[in-house]
Amino acid sequence: MITLLYIEKNMIVTKDKEGGRMLEKQTKLLKITAFIVLLIIYGTHVTDQVQAEDNSSKKVLILNSYHEGLTWTKEETEGIMQTLNDEGRNISFYVEYMDWKNHNSEKNLDYLYDYYKYKYEHNKVDLIMATDDVALQFALQYGEEIFANAPVVFCGVNKESAEAITKGESNVTGVIEVVDPTETLKIASEINPSLKNVYLLYDNSESGLSTGNIAVTEIEKFNPDLMVESWNDLAFEEVLERARSLEQDSIILITTYYSDATGKIFDMDYVNREVCAQSSVPVYGLYDFGLDRGIIGGVLLSGRLQGENAAKIAGRILDGEDPDDIPISAPNSMRTAFDYNELQQYDISLDALPDDSEIINKPFSFYETYKTLVLSVVAAFIILFVFIYILLFYIRKIQKMKKNLAENNEELTQLYEELTASDEEMKQQYDEIISINEKIRLSEEKLSYLAYHDSLTGLPNKLSLYEESKIIFSSKDLKAALLFIDIDNFKYVNDTMGHVFGDSLIIKLGERLTELLRYNCYLYRLSGDEFVVIWKDMAQTDRVEEYATFILSDFLTNFELLNSDLHVSISIGIAMYPNHATDLEELLKYADIAMYQAKDTGKKRYMVYDQAMNEAFTERVSIEKYLQKALEHQEFEVYYQPQLDIKNNCITGFEALLRWNSPELGKVSPMKFIDVAEDTHFIIPLGTWVLHEACGFLSRLEEKGYGKMDISVNISILQLLQEDFIDIITDALEKYQIEPERLELEITESILMESFERIITKLQILRNRNIRIALDDFGKGYSSLNYLKQLPITTLKVDKSFIDYITDTKEDDFVSHIISIGKYLGMCVVAEGVEVQNQLDYLIKYDCDKIQGFLFCRGNV
Ligand code: C2E
Ligand code: CA
Ligand code: CA
């Protein structure tokens, strides 16, 4: 046998239509599953036990005062049965209904006596549950006769009745039905604070009056100010009529009403429904069966709770307790319950009700119904949301971190790129610095090169010579030679051919000298046309002269320069280390002196320095020193040597010869100072001064009556090369009123030939102006006839050295040939330096035109 286990708290219980409680829904599948599992386990496991308990099964008779359909009765019965069953007993229930409300007569009792006697005289019950007064009375009255003195437990009987019925009886106990409207009124007063009138509806039955009186008493006790009116003396129609027009400060309280004052019987449900339907004010009740029949509610006596409470006592008795040891009690059997629909109708808020109030007919509220579930779900959701929130928070945090990381990464990437870029830049800058350094190094090299090299020839320069000489001339054990090389007449080349030509010549010279260098020989360009060769570590000093000769011989070959073929000669001065000097300065000085000596003695040669040369050099330095101021100090004068026309035997003119009477140096020969004057270009103003002096001399002669004489003036090629030379001549002639044909310009042959190209035009101009041009020192310069023919020369002056050859003993054909050539070319031939008669004779013989010389005149004119 399987016993149903009711787990009440796991069920949702609501009022059914009859006001009873019923199982409606099982909430949780889990619980159901657990329940089924328990059932199975229990069913299989306890089969034997059940079998054993069969023997101890009890018979309980539930004897009801009223009929089966009465809600109150039904509730009580269910409460009893359910409670006893819940306590796990094996009970057989017998339920009887005495139907006392409908059959309130002795006859009914008699029938029932017979009926029950028939049924239970031989079917002994273990306990009788008597509900309400009549049943209790019957059970006690016939307990011994019919029910074999089964103990009686009652319910639904008020205190007075219970006391009265059980008086003197034993083997009986139960629970008293206490009617108390006080709590209900408290709630009603709270809902409607203006409550003043309470209308009580009860019938005039024994129990009705009893209940009604209790109610009146209790209400007055609760609040004496309340007006209590009982409607038990009214017909039901009157009740309804009154109910319809009640003021709002009123309520109706229904207790039990099964008949009206006229004795008319009513069904309680009907009464409740009608009164409540008609009433203008809320209708409160005392019993819970009024619920869902129109009453608003209240603190209601529950038939089921009465049954349950009684059943608990019954259980104890069934378990063996003596009924007489269990006093009659009055446990709480009240329910605080309200009808939602009615509350709505009277616009009463649920808040006005006590917290533990049961609300029936409440529209289905998911929340209310599944509160736990909902709360659990809500809690779960909250937890879920919290989790989700936390999760989202962390996701966001992670995303933020990711973003930050990405940004950081980007920044890092950028930084890396920047670093790479700056690295690149640095590399570039490094490369630039390297290249700048390289440039600086190259510039330094270049500078150093430029500092130590001559820019024109690329040869080591003077500075280089000074630097290297420190090493070369460091040991006196070693021998060395310094060769000072200078181009002969370079001053004319530079002035006549121009600087470009002069530069090219120097470059060529440098190249040629480089080619001529020997082992241990080093070439330097000192300045201008000055070059130095140092031959270091010489084994034999005499070899230097052979080397100088070798160099000079090479210069016999002409230079090819800017499309012209040029003969260039050089002079070399040599000084020896350590014989002549031990430092460069002195060696240079001595080599320079030797070089000047070479020039003085005819150029195109070398000279090795010796002590005697020092004097000549010192003299030259002195001349140079005093020459500059000689003109302004009027230290010069001009000496005029007459020119004699041989044929007419008369003086036709004079040659102007310059004289310098230096206060410091005494009389200085033009042979010495003209060269210095040319080197310093002082010859240009000096030459002009001579020209003016000569012209002035002529005009003075004329003034003194000597007639028109001619004048020959020696002209340096440097003068001729001046741009304004022709103007200077013209100015002088004009100033002294000298006819151009009376002026003759004497130009030295050798120099003239070297500057031929440059001066030929000027000479043409001069000639065109009738100025005569004499070729001085003819014969010394090896002039080619070809040149002579091209030049506008009027006079040939045969050099004194050739005249000197004409002696008493021998006649030289050479002079006669010169005279012939001169004549042939249509020139006037003048012999100079004629000192002796036979020279004159010779010249006369060979038809020389004019003569000059000491033979006629030695002193100044
Ligand atoms: P030069 O033009 O050949 O001059 C003739 C030189 O011979 C003069 O020497 C003169 O005094 C000298 N002389 C004349 N007759 C005789 C003689 O019978 N026997 C000897 N032994 N000598 C005689 P001076 O005056 O000493 O001049 C030397 C040179 O200086 C000149 O040679 C000329 O080239 C140059 N010179 C002189 N005066 C001037 C001048 O004003 N300007 C320029 N540029 N050169 C001048
Ligand atoms: Ca002359
Ligand atoms: Ca001469």
Degrees, nearest 5: CA angle 441-442-445: 85
Lowest mean pLDDT among 127-141, 152-166, 221-235, 414-428: 414-428
Which of 731, 477, 777, 345 is CA-nearest to residue 602?
Answer: 777
Q: How far apart are CA 626 and CA 783, in angstroms?
A: 35
Residues 772 and 793: beta-carbon distance below 8 Å: no
Structure tokens at 709: 């004489």
Residue 8: its pLDDT value, please?
35
Residue whose token pair is 């000549």: 616
**Residue 859: band (very low, low, confident or very high) from pLDDT cuts 50, 70, 90:** low
Higher-scoring residue by pLDDT: 667, 560: 667
Q: Choose one of 714, 802, 856 to mutate for the ligand 1 pocket test, by most ligand atoms within 8 angstroms of C-beta.
A: 714
Say yes or no: CB of residue 851 within 6 Å of ligand 1.
Answer: no
Ligand 2 centroid to Cα of residue 748, in Å, is 8
Amino acid code (one letter) for 59: K
For ligand 1, atom 3: residue with the closest CA: 777
Residues near 716 by beta carbon (within 8 Å), at least 6 away in sequence: 674, 677, 678, 683, 684, 687
The string of pLDDT tens digits covering residues 259-269 is 999 989 888 88
pLDDT higher than 60, residue 103: yes
Report how far ligand 1's centroid is from the alpha carbon of 833 (Å). Answer: 9
Ligand lying closest to the C-alpha of residue 798: 3
Both tokens assigned to 498:
């121009």
pLDDT tens digits along 522-539: 999 998 899 999 999 888
Tokens 């020209």 — which residue? 691
Regarding predicted confidence, which is higher, 49 or 649? 649
613 lines ligand 1 (CB under 6 A): no
Give residue 754's pLDDT. Answer: 62
Rounded to 10°, the helix 613-630/584-600 angle is 80
pLDDT for 416: 76
Q: Binning pLDDT at 50, 70 and 90, where does residue 808 land?
A: low
pLDDT tens by residue, 167-177: 999 999 999 99
- Ligand 1: residue whose CA is nearest its atom 17: 833
Alpha carbon of 746 to ligand 2 centroid (Å): 6
According to DSSP, the β-strands at 850-851 and 828-831 are parallel
Q: Which two tokens stand for residue 430?
A: 């490094």
Per the prediction, the chain carries an average pLDDT of 86
Does residue 669 have its Cβ closer than 6 Å to ligand 1?
yes
Three-state secondary structure call for residue 523: strand
DSSP class of residue 635 equals -
Distance separating the N- and C-terminal Cα atoms of the chain: 191
Q: Would the CA dihedral through 292, 295, 297, 300 be positive or negative?
A: negative
Residue 194 CA to residue 682 CA, distance in Å, equals: 154
For the CA of 854, the nearest atom of ligand 1: 18
In this prediction, residue 88 has a pLDDT band, given cuts at 50, 70 and 90, of confident
- Short-list 753, 489, 755, CA closest to 603: 489
Please count the other Cβ atoms lying within 10 Å of the Cβ belonging to residue 244: 13
Task: Give the number of other Cβ atoms within 10 Å of residue 778's Cβ.
Answer: 26
How many angstroms does the Cα of residue 364 sit away from the middle of ligand 3?
160
- The alpha helices in 121-205, defined as continuous H runs, are 132-141, 159-166, 182-191
pLDDT tens-place string over residues 52-65: 444 478 999 999 99
What single string gives the DSSP state of each residue in 452-482? HB-TTT--B-HHHHHHHHHHHTS-TTS-EEE
Q: What are the pLDDT digits (tens) for 188-243?
A: 999 999 999 999 999 998 878 888 988 999 999 999 999 999 999 999 999 999 99
CA gap 616, 676 in Å, rounded:
13
Q: Nearest C-alpha to atom 20 of ligand 1 is from which residue? A: 833
Question: Which ligand 1 atom is nearest residue 799's CA?
Answer: 3
Give the three-class secondary structure for 806: coil
CA distances from 570 to 22, 457, 560 (A): 154, 18, 16
Torsion, Cα of 213, 219, 225, 229 (10° steps): -40
Going from the Cα of 724 to the center of ligand 1, the distance in angstroms, rounded, reads 26
pLDDT-derived band at 693 (thresholds 50, 70, 90) equals: very high
Residue 282 φ then ψ, to 5°: -65, 145
SS3 777: strand
Question: Is 674's C-beta closer than 6 angstroms to any atom of ligand 1?
Answer: yes
How far from the centroid of its chain's Cα atoms is residue 811's Cα? 110
| Cα 582 to middle of ligand 1, angstroms | 42
* Cβ(770)–Cβ(741) below 8 Å: yes
Q: Whose CA is nearest to atom 37 of ligand 1?
A: 657
Residue 19 predicted with pLDDT over 60? no
pLDDT at 795 over 90: yes
The H or E element that residue 662 is part of is strand 650-662
**CB neighbours of 507 closer than 8 A, spacing ≥ 6?**
456, 457
Give Cα separations from 278 to 234, 274, 340, 797 (angstroms): 16, 6, 18, 183
The conformation of residue 4, written as its DSSP 8-state character, comes to P
> What's the CA-to-centroid distance between 784 and ligand 2, angstroms?
20
Among 657, 660, 728, residue to substitute to test ligand 1 (most atoms within 8 Å of Cβ):
657
Residue 684, ligand 1, Cβ within 6 A: no
Whole-angstrom distance, CA of residue 282 vs CA of residue 185: 12
Nearest ligand to the C-alpha atom of residue 780: 3
Pairwise CA distance, residues 295 & 213, whole Å: 21
Write the pLDDT tens digit of every residue in 731-755. 999 999 999 999 999 998 766 666 6
- State residue 561's pLDDT score: 82
Helices 670-679 and 683-703, axial angle in degrees (round to 10)? 130
Residue 32, pLDDT score = 43
* Ligand number with the minimum distance to the CA of 641: 1
Distance 712 CA to ligand 3 centre (A): 11
Half-sphere exposure of 858 (CA within 13 A, CB side): 3
**Does pLDDT of 709 surpass 70?**
yes
Confidence of residue 102 (pLDDT cuts 50, 70, 90): confident
Phi, psi (rounded to 5 degrees) for 229? -125, 125
Any atom of ligand 1 within 6 Å of the Cβ of 670? yes
Going from the Cα of 656 to the center of ligand 2, the distance in angstroms, rounded, reads 8
510 lines ligand 1 (CB under 6 A): no
Contact between 638 and 700 under an 8 Å Cβ cutoff? The reply is: no
Q: pTM of the predicted model, to two decimals?
A: 0.49
Distance 639 CA to ligand 3 centre (A): 14
Residue 801 in contact with ligand 1 by CB distance below 6 A: no
> How many alpha carbons lie under 13 Å from residue 406 in its C-beta half-sphere?
5
- 854 within ligand 1 shell (Cβ under 6 A): yes
745: left (phi over 0), alpha (psi -120 to 50) or beta: beta
Q: What is the pLDDT of residues 619-663, one digit of tens each?
A: 888 999 999 999 999 999 999 999 999 999 999 999 999 999 999
Ligand 1 neighbourhood includes 749 CB (under 6 angstroms): no
The model's confidence at residue 424, banded by pLDDT at 50, 70 and 90, is confident
Is the CB of 714 within 6 Å of ligand 1?
Answer: yes
Q: How many CA atoms lie within 13 A of 136 on its CB side?
A: 26
Check if 852 has its Cβ closer than 6 Å to any atom of ligand 1: yes
For residues 79 and 175, the answer to whether their CB atoms sit within 8 Å is: no
Q: Is 26 left (phi over 0), alpha (psi -120 to 50) or beta?
A: beta
| CA proximity to 802, closest of 771, 781, 825, 787 | 781
Greatest extent of the chain over all pairs of C-alpha atoms, in Å? 228
Q: Which residues pair with 201 in a beta bridge?
A: 254
Ligand nearest to the CA of 693: 1
Residue with tokens 């971190």: 401
The DSSP element (H or E) to which 200 belongs, if any, is strand 197-201
- Residue 851, both tokens: 């003569």
The pLDDT assigned to 811 comes to 59
Ligand 1 centre to CA of 657 (Å) is 6
Tokens 């529950």 map to which residue?
A: 302
Ligand 1, atom 34: closest residue by C-alpha: 714
Q: Please report the atom of ligand 1 found closest to the CA of residue 857.
A: 15
State in Å: Cα 712 to ligand 2 middle.
8
Please name the residue that has the structure tokens 């031939």. Answer: 829
Index of the ligand 1 atom closest to the CA of residue 852: 15
The answer to whether residues 251 and 195 touch, using CB atoms and an 8 Å cutoff, is yes
CA 694 to ligand 1 center in whole angstroms: 15
Ligand 1 pocket member 550 (CB < 6 A): no
Q: Which ligand lies nearest the alpha carbon of 856?
A: 1
Tokens for 275, please give them.
């009164």
The arithmetic mean of pLDDT across residues 502-513, rounded, is: 93
